[in-house]
Structure 1
Amino acid sequence: MFKHIIEENLDIRLLELRHAEQLYDLVSRNEEHLAEWLPWVKGNKIENTKGFIEAALQKFVNNDGIDCGIFYHDRIVGVIALHRLDWLNKKTSVGYWLDGSLQGKGIMTKACEAMINYSFHDLQLNRIEIRAGVNNLKSRAIPERLGFEKEGIVRQAEWVNDRYIHHVVYGLLKEDWGQ
């Protein structure tokens, strides 16, 4: 299975069904922090987590995306994904979330950097997009830190917790990635 070592005690791995309980527990512990920005968090059940992992594995088998757990000291602490691989246009989008207690330690920036390198070098893609809620400043800081260009705002892009949220769209081209 897919595994990429970022540094000692930090790696990303393809999610597998054996991770379901640990992932479910992580989401449950972070429900308040995650539910502000992610529509699927409230009411999440272990069956939903297992279904998500099964769908993610099928997506990987179909060469249509990759969903990875972020592992820190061998414990799952978040998720990072290439949502859809558009092979015709050589592009994808990256999504991510992290345990609230570990934010601000550079973990997500390093995981995104690894996924960007994988996308541009191994998959030979040309464009990566990241979208984040306009007011989700922590999530927006990642693409800004990594040199993505702010390309615009998509109004009422997502229904989360009985309200629409606007998304900021960031884009990065392979030619602009200096690594």
Structure 2
Amino acid sequence: MKTSHLEAVLFSAAKPLSIDVLMDVFDLSKEEVEIYIDTLASELIEAERGIRIRVSAAGVELVSDSSSSEYVGHIRKKEDKLSNAAMETLAVIAYKQPITKAEIEEVRGVNSDKVIKQLLSRALIAELGHKDTVGRPILYGTTDEFLRSTGVTSIDDLHKELDITNESDELNND
């Protein structure tokens, strides 16, 4: 196998591919697949290509290089952007998940029906089940699509990053 084969498979995929899928496609061990991923990532950087490899909880995928963001941004449609209310709701869900709609609204102080429907339709959040209380309200949490779109490898990493930012802010305020 060549790294160009890995690049072609990742380019052709409509979504991130797991290491297991890549192991099956190329009939390689996990260690061999990881070596090919690392090698391709290095090749793309050394050749100053406009794409990079991103590995997240959702899998392995090709993404545009951040240095090209100004140009790539021109092709993004306005409807792809989330409103401030959607971003706020998504942040609450990501940090406090699993969480009910009532708990989200308690934090935000406003009705969140429309925003939750929007986030569900974009597959950034999902219904995780029901809370074991009166009325059995739906519990919401983030999805692999959320992780993929933010470039975060896991919710634990997001919490660690937020905790570091909060500690830094507290030190700067002292």
TM range (shorter): under 0.3
TM-score (norm 2): 0.26
Structure 1 or 2: larger strand share? Answer: 1
Q: TM-score, normalising length from structure 1?
A: 0.25
User: Higher helix proportion, which one?
Assistant: 2
